Amino acid sequence: MDLDREEQAILDGEFGETRRKMMELLVGLGTVFGAERLVPITSAQVSGASYKTIGRWGLEWLEGLDARAVVPTVLNPIGMDRHRWREMGIPEEFAGKQEEVVAAYERLGIRLECTCTPYYLTNTSFGEHLAWAESSAVSYANSVIGARTNREGGPGALAAAIIGKTPYYGLHIFKNRQPQIGFSLDEPTALQGAADYGALGHLTGGMAGNRIPIFFGIRPNRDHLKALGAAMAATGAVALYHVDGITPEARLPTLRREVDETIEIRIAEVREVFSAVEVDAIAVGCPHLSPAELEHLAGLLGGKSVKKPFFVFAAAGVIAENRAAVNRIEASGARVYADTCVVVSPALDRFDAIMVNSGKALAYVPTMCGAVARIGSLEECVAVATA
Ligand code: F3S
């Protein structure tokens, strides 16, 4: 890789051991993936934040680092709401370890917004280069915003945050962002809400694998796109997709629309993703809810009481700015938690079957929480919770 003088000096250890190691990691990644140089980034999002996923070894590695992020950087969800972990039923010992992880990241200059929806809190724009790690955030940044990031691992994103640059390869380069597989629907107007798009993503992610899909004929809004991309990133390795005429790059004349293979999905196949399994808890907010989704949920729960545990997850900053909707949701007995989520918190491990409105959660709950997962619309989640 071609390094400028400052980059070479960092690699030579002139700016400390941690920065040397971080530069070494970036150069190693760049060499493996054929990058010729580094590119400056405007923000980073670091995964590997829950003690449930990184454990003791991850914590020790973090505590051995001594440098600070040089670009705005947020964290992925951790294992608990930082202020309400007791009421979530998080064991004291886990909470202590989680706080140590958070403190280690704080020492590294990372903003303690623990969310997979950093795009609600930062002004991320079309064409910006990023180093984001969480797969749904990566998909949203690339596909819905038109920013450019590879699907970073936790260490790669942290290294990029500390150096302020990332290797220039893969999805940073426009010619690598062309669609490779098409999807169309027999009844595109039958798709209604985020759960339908999540189910569509659950179905098509595996078919796409790590190819870049383009959808034809569907008309999703931004919350639907979030659900679609998150699910495809979970059942496949989709880090970028296009929706013809909707997503920003699919409105550019330079994006190719011809693909070798277009698969027609029948709406009946999407419906098969839904089931009617009995559940003992409900969890929504995977990815973290948007302000509009919080408002919608508040309207659905208004004047009702939930009879099953009902977990709602959103970014702390979004909760703070939408306090009235959050209060209306909590008046029903549902709980709105920040910093964490259904998959990375141990709080939901005690349930046998969990209802979600997310194709991504549907994919991860069985392995990460050891529970059966059922997907339903937000309306169905409320109906099941209040019946
Ligand atoms: Fe976000 Fe957790 Fe889902 S990180 S996308 S809420 S699994």
What is the Cα–Cα distance from 230 to 250, expressed in whole angstroms? 19
CA pair distance 210, 172, nearest whole angstrom:
16
The closest alpha carbon to 72, from 150, 164, 137, belongs to 164
Residue 53 pLDDT more than 90?
no
How sure is the predictor about 360, in pLDDT bands with cuts at 50, 70 and 90? very high
Confidence at residue 122, expressed as pLDDT on a 0 to 100 scale:
84
pLDDT at 52: 86
Residue of higher predicted confidence among 123 and 377: 377
Question: Is any ligand 1 atom within 6 A of the Cβ of residue 341?
Answer: yes
Mean pLDDT (whole number) for 220-225: 98
257-261, 310-314, 357-361 — which is least confidently predicted? Answer: 257-261
Is residue 49 within 6 Å of ligand 1 at its C-beta?
Answer: no
Residue 215 backbone class (left: φ over 0; alpha: ψ -120 to 50; beta: rest): beta
- DSSP codes joined into one string, 337-367: E-S--TTT-GGGTT-SEEEES-HHHHHHHHH
Cβ atoms 291, 317 nearer than 8 A: no
- Is any atom of ligand 1 closer than 6 Å to the C-beta of 136? yes
- Supply the pLDDT for residue 143: 98
| 2, 18, 56, 137, 231 from 65: Cα distances, Å | 26, 6, 15, 25, 34
**Do 178-272 and 281-386 share a fold?**
no
- Exposure string of 194-222, with b = 16+ CB inside 10 Å and e = fewer, is bbbbbbbbbbbbebbeebbbbbbebebee
Q: How confident is the model at residue 197 (pLDDT cuts 50, 70, 90)?
A: very high
User: CB-based contacts of 317: which residues, under 8 Å, 6+ apart?
Assistant: 113, 115, 120, 121
| C-alpha atoms less than 13 angstroms from C-alpha of 336 in its C-beta half-sphere | 28
34 CA to middle of ligand 1, Å?
30
Write the pLDDT tens digit of every residue in 92-123.
999 999 999 999 999 999 999 999 999 999 88
Distance 361 CA to ligand 1 centre (A): 7
DSSP 68: -
Helix or strand run (H / E) with residue 271: helix 267-271
Report the pLDDT averaged over residues 324-339. Answer: 98
Is 90 exceeded by the pLDDT of residue 384?
A: yes
Q: Can you tell me the distance from the alpha carbon of 163 to that of 5, in angstroms, rounded to the nearest whole number?
A: 14
Q: Which residue has the tokens 């209802």?
A: 355
Distance from residue 341's CA to the centre of ligand 1 (Å): 6
Q: Which residue's CA is the closest to the ligand 1 atom numbered 6? A: 286
Instruction: Name the band, by pLDDT with cuts 50, 70 and 90, for residue 317.
Output: very high
Domain 281-386 CATH assignment equals 3.30.2310.20: no
Cα angle, residue 50 at apex, residues 44 and 51 outer, rounded to 5°: 135
Q: Distance, CA 274 to ligand 1 centroid (Å)?
A: 20
Question: How far is the C-alpha of 115 from the C-alpha of 218, rounded, in Å?
Answer: 28
- Sequence-ordered list of residues with C-beta below 8 angstroms from that of 254, at least 6 positions apart, any chain: 174
CB 364 near ligand 1, within 6 Å: yes
pLDDT above 90: residue 327:
yes
Ligand 1 pocket test: pick from 113, 120, 293, 344 the residue with the most ligand atoms within 8 Å of its Cβ.
344
3-state DSSP call for residue 146? Answer: coil
Q: Domain locations in the chain? A: 5-174, 178-272, 281-386
Residue 266 sits at the vertex; the CA angle it makes with 197 and 134, to the nearest 5 degrees, is 30
d(CA 372, CA 71): 40
Look at residue 152 in the predicted model and tell me its pLDDT.
97
- Chain-wide mean pLDDT for the chain? 96
For the chain, give the percent of residues with pLDDT over 90.
96
pLDDT at 175: 94
Confidence of residue 204 (pLDDT cuts 50, 70, 90): very high
Residue 228: HSE in the Cβ half-sphere, 13 Å Cα cutoff = 28
Is CATH 1.20.1070 the classification given to domain 5-174? no
Tell whether domain 178-272 is in CATH 3.40.1060.10.
yes
Which pLDDT value is given to residue 279? 97
Query: What is the residue with the minimal CA distance to atom 5 of ligand 1?
Result: 287
Query: What is the CA(294)–ligand 1 centre distance, in A?
Result: 16
DSSP 177: G
Give the number of the atom of ligand 1 that is nearest the alpha carbon of residue 76: 4
Q: Confirm or reject: Cβ of 343 under 6 Å from ligand 1.
A: yes
Strand order in the sheet with 353-356: 335-337, 310-313, 281-284, 353-356, 372-375
Q: Which of 312, 356, 360, 364 gets mutated to test ligand 1 (max ligand atoms within 8 A of its CB)?
A: 360
**Is ligand 1 within 6 A of the CB of residue 71?**
no
Structure-block tokens of residue 21? 């190691």
> Which residues in 86-198 belong to E strands, given as ranges?
111-114, 130-132, 165-167, 181-185
C-beta separation of 364 from 50 below 8 A: no
| Any atom of ligand 1 within 6 Å of the Cβ of 48 | no
Mean of the pLDDT values across residues 327-346?
96
pLDDT digits (tens, 9 = 90+) for 137-148: 999 999 999 999
What SS3 class is residue 108? coil
Please work out, in degrees rounded to the nearest 5, the angle formed at the alpha carbon of residue 82 by the alpha carbons of 81 and 87: 55
Q: What percent of the chain has pLDDT over 70?
A: 100
Query: Taken in order 373, 377, 378, 380, is the CA torsion positive or negative?
Result: negative
Per-residue model confidence (pLDDT) at position 70: 98
Cβ(286) – ligand 1 distance below 6 Å: yes
Mean pLDDT (whole number) for 321-338: 98
**What's the pLDDT tens digit per position in 243-270?**
999 999 999 988 998 999 999 999 999 9
SS3 45: strand
**3-class DSSP state of 80:** coil
Q: Which of 78, 132, 225, 286 to mutate to test the pocket of ligand 1 (most atoms within 8 A of CB)?
A: 286
According to DSSP, the residues that pair with 243 across neighbouring strands are: 215
Report DSSP state, residue 143.
Answer: I
